[in-house]
Amino acid sequence: MLDTRDIHSLTDFLRNHKAHLARLKKSRAPEVLTVNGKAAVVVQDAASYQSMLDSLHHLETLAAIQEGMASAERGELKPAAQVLREMRARYGLAR
């Protein structure tokens, strides 16, 4: 969730970028930058962004595993040989 205190104009960010970057690095919280009073971009430090991407990847992996398990419970499994044949055909791979 974005903190409404972390909303700044792009002009302020450009004028005071060192202070903004120090705050971003210390707080690890994103800032919303506005243009003409409207939210335009969100900025955050690189480590926080990478952490967010890692968390998203983990959650997507868990969701895929859960879907696979649900598919297996519904009896929608295919033999591995059949899947490999279908993939070879789809991607034009020789055997």
Mean pLDDT by 10 residues, the chain (95 residues): 82 96 94 95 95 97 96 92 93 82
For the entire predicted model, the pTM comes to: 0.69
Residue 34 CA to residue 18 CA, distance in Å, equals 18
Q: 38 and 54 share a domain?
A: no
Q: Could you tell me if 40 and 8 lie in one domain?
A: yes
**Tokens representing residue 16 in the block:** 């005071």
Q: Do residues 59 and 85 share a domain?
A: yes
| Partners of residue 74 on adjacent β-strands | none
Range of the domain at 86: 48-91
> Is residue 11 exposed (0-12), middle (13-18) or buried (19+ Cβ within 10 Å)?
exposed
